[in-house]
Chain A
Amino acid sequence: MSAARDEILQALRNNRPTPENHPLPPVKTLGDLDASRERFIASLKILGGDVLEPVKGETLDQAIMRRHPDAKVICSNVPEAKGTLPVEKVKTPQDAATIDVTVVRAPFGIAEMGSIFLSESQLPINSFAHLGQHIVVVLSPDSITANMHTAYQERPEFRSANYGVLMSGPSATADIQGVLIRGAQGVRSLSVWFA
């Protein structure tokens, strides 16, 4: 083992406060435990995300074209949408840069934050969730968990995924004179399709 490692650990052992005075508090579940779709949607909208509602019998492909009429390259990783670019064509992280709309399924959402979770299990390649201009996320209303406490305690993905991202609305910044801008470096919009 490295000298640095041993030295740091030894210094910490010498300097730390008495461990017995600082017991580990038990895990708590606090706050609102409403896991409804309505709460999820309200939270999602606060963070700038939106719901893609089907208009009379529309398919997901049709709804995407309605929402993003200028989109040329639509790449879907879910059976519910066909898209225009077969997902097998996305092989390297850079390949995702030409996509206008990516379509993925999230294994769960969090009602408190309107967050959706994505990991390498839902993505052909991790950059797929970020390099496209817009993202459409398919989410089952039955897989919404109430809040951050229930999410971290109950969802196994946090313990199994190498890469797991909670996206809460689109990319955003307020770094220039405090003006909120949606669509900073990552996706410009995030829409949720319930199915």
Chain B
Amino acid sequence: MSNKPVNHARAAEHFLEDAPHLQFHDERLWDMRQKRDGQMHMLPEWQELREEASRIKEHTLSRLPEYLEQFEENAKKNGIHVHWARDGAEHNRIVGDILKAHNARNLIKSKSMVTEECDMRPYLAKQGVTVTETDLGERIQQLDDQLPSHIVVPAVHKLTSDVARIFAKDYHTDPNIRDPHLLAEAQRQAARPVILHADAGMTGGNFVVAETGTFVVCTNEGNADLSATVPNLHIATIGIERLVPRMADLGVFIRLLSRSALGSPITQYTTHFRGPQKGGEMHVVLVDNGRSARLGMEDFWTSLKCIRCGACMNTCPVYRRSGGLSYGAVYSGPIGAIIDPTFNERKYSTLPYASTLNGSCTNVCPVKINIHEQLYKWRRVLVQHHEMPFVKREIMHMAGKLMGQPRMYRAAIRMTEVSLGSMPRFVLYNWLNPWGKHRENPHPVKQTFNDWYRKNREKTKPAAAPETKK
């Protein structure tokens, strides 16, 4: 995998060129945000729920080893096989070995961001296993060979015509279909035989309950339930941060999750797995993949509270106008921008800059992660670690020198004002001035504040003039 920094700005530029997609994407996500607000206003206890959720998660993270052991003990008692994976490669090997032991060649799976992290599908393909995504959006992305662009609605950047084109190729449907109902029906008809003949099913897990050894999966399509109840072999891949201590804690999180995500009170299916079904076998793979290291990062460990609702993405003006794929990472949007650098600081060094720092992400987060503050803190870390593009670094370097010397600064400002008013456009708008891309430079002013101050106030109150102190 390439280690080159993701060029988010250029990818976003590309996204912005396509007006119909851009407009739909922006409006659809904003609509989700507004529906979320509608749900929030119906519950007077909303802020209390967020506070509870945040406290429960922080508590759990501070005692994660104990709760993981408790979960493992209870799950084993109920007949679940529990595996541990340090990274993606180990996870893939474990899953591959389980499938091989059962001679399972056809795996159906519901959406799981962790398997995306582990890049599992290509690994299993090499082992001769056919993996079929059963979530509609995820299936569209699989057929189009793209990462999910959103953690809840993976194909939200696509229009009906895109889906019609993709399905025509693989499902032999009419490429001119413009009715989403017909396309959803095509997916149902195509998926059924695959589900009925699958050798194994795979799901993720939204929550894990330590005291009972239960894991919970939330979906709207019911595809996780089909994946888990039709084949007799069920493998669940779950990040180690997904724990909650008590069954009662689910009350808080289930009330927040879908309301924050889609603005619906609850997902259509909320499924609790506590053991294998009659005649079946159940495996849980607990995946670290950088999480234990993140827990030790003083400024960033609370990002592990995330319940993957996507509310921060829906509200983010940068995400809505650049699309999830522009982040070039498994996790996109504000939450992606603060966790991706923990996977690869250099490759994802540009993502913390994909933000206006408006704080909206923090305000909608159901578990109260201070996302915009972490974005800011990541910028500091990246500068300290020299993970900053050349032009930006040099500009900051020059600006730092300039601002440290008031006389030079004022002279420069005066010159800038003159240039802004007199220079030809090609001098002002070029690659050396990224600020001038897609927007106009500020209008020059006739008089700077400092000039105005000297003229109007300095004479009357000479002692207050800043430069006389030097």
Contacts and interface: CB of A to CB of B under 8 A. Distances in A.
Contacts of A176: 136, 140, 155, 158, 160, 163, 180, 183-184
B222 A130 contact: yes
A51 to B, nearest CB: 17
A4 to B, nearest CB: 4
Q: How large, as a class, is the contact surface on chain B?
A: 35 or more
B62 A181 contact: no
B68 to A, nearest CB: 7
Contact of A174 (B78, B84, B188, B262): B262
Interface of A: 2, 4-5, 7-9, 11-19, 21-25, 27-31, 43, 46-48, 93-94, 97, 112-113, 115, 120, 125-127, 129-131, 147-153, 158-159, 161-179, 181, 183-187
Interface stretch (B48-56, B325-333, B393-401, B452-460): B48-56
Nearest to A155: B247
B265 interface: yes
Nearest to A14: B296
Nearest to A24: B59
Nearest to B276: A162
28 contacts: A4-B90, A7-B86, A9-B68, A11-B288, A11-B292, A12-B295, A19-B62, A27-B246, A28-B48, A47-B265, A93-B229, A112-B265, A130-B229, A158-B212, A161-B272, A163-B273, A165-B272, A174-B262, A175-B136, A176-B158, A177-B160, A177-B163, A178-B31, A179-B180, A184-B220, A184-B223, A185-B134, A187-B222
B315 to A, nearest CB: 16
Given A7-B86, A168-B267, A178-B31, A173 B251 contact: no
Contacts of A159: 212, 247
A177 B159 contact: yes
Contacts of A93: 229-232
B274 interface: yes
**Across the A-B interface, the 10 shortest Cβ-Cβ residue pairs:** A186-B222, A15-B296, A175-B137, A11-B292, A162-B275, A176-B180, A149-B251, A126-B229, A171-B222, A184-B221
B301 A17 contact: yes
A167 B220 CA distance: 9
Interface string B254-292: 110000001011111111111111100000001010001
Interface string B199-231: 000000000000010100000111101101111
Contacts, number: 268
A139 B153 CA distance: 33
A15 B292 CA distance: 7
Interface in B166-211: 180-181, 183-184, 187-188, 191-192, 196
Contacts of A23: 59
Interface string B61-72: 111110011000
Given A11-B295, A94-B230, A129-B229, 11 more contacts: A12-B68, A46-B264, A125-B229, A126-B225, A148-B251, A158-B212, A158-B214, A172-B268, A177-B28, A178-B156, A185-B187
B45 interface: yes
B120 interface: no
B221 A161 contact: no
Nearest to A19: B62
A119 B154 CA distance: 30
Given A12-B64, A166-B271, A152 B296 contact: no
Contacts of A11: 288, 292-293, 295-296
A24 B254 contact: no
B313 interface: no
Nearest to B139: A175
B85 interface: yes
B15 to A, nearest CB: 17
Contacts of B270: 115, 165-166, 168
B268 A129 contact: no
A173 B138 CA distance: 12
A7 B65 CA distance: 11
Given A94-B230, A176-B160, A185 B222 contact: yes
B221 A163 contact: no
Contacts of A184: 136, 184, 187-188, 220-223
A166 B268 CA distance: 8
A15 B84 CA distance: 18
Contacts of A31: 43-45, 255
Nearest to B29: A178
Given A30-B45, A181-B181, A171 B220 contact: yes
